[in-house]
Amino acid sequence: ERYDAGGYAQVLSTSMSDSGSGLAAFTYLRMNKKLFEGDNWRHLVDFVRNMSEGGRRQRLPDSDSRGSDIYVGHIKKTKEQKQEAGTVLV
């Protein structure tokens, strides 16, 4: 039972044939509670994205501030919460 990025990378590399055609389908059989925990879930999401794009997508590092994959929704939500709190206090 593996949920690490290395395990997913191995599946991804073996899924590509020399002729350039990839898999048409992939079934993940180990859907359990452990899969949905922290890094395990993040690794699965990255793996699925890579599989859907034929392995061409390279995941950006967590510290990258220039890439398009950075989630900034929490910033907008915090700003909205501050605005709501400000209107309540007025």
Domain total for the chain? Answer: 1
Tell me the mean pLDDT per 10 residues along the chain, length 90: 85 73 72 88 88 62 53 63 67
**Axis crossing angle, helix 5-15 with helix 38-52, rounded to the nearest 10:** 20
Domain enclosing residue 10, as ranges: 5-89
C-alpha–C-alpha distance, residues 64 and 81, integer Å:
26
Amino acid residing at 79: K
Q: What share of the chain is helix, strand, coil (3-state, %, to 5)?
A: 50, 0, 50
Residue 20 has a pLDDT of 62
The model's pTM: 0.52
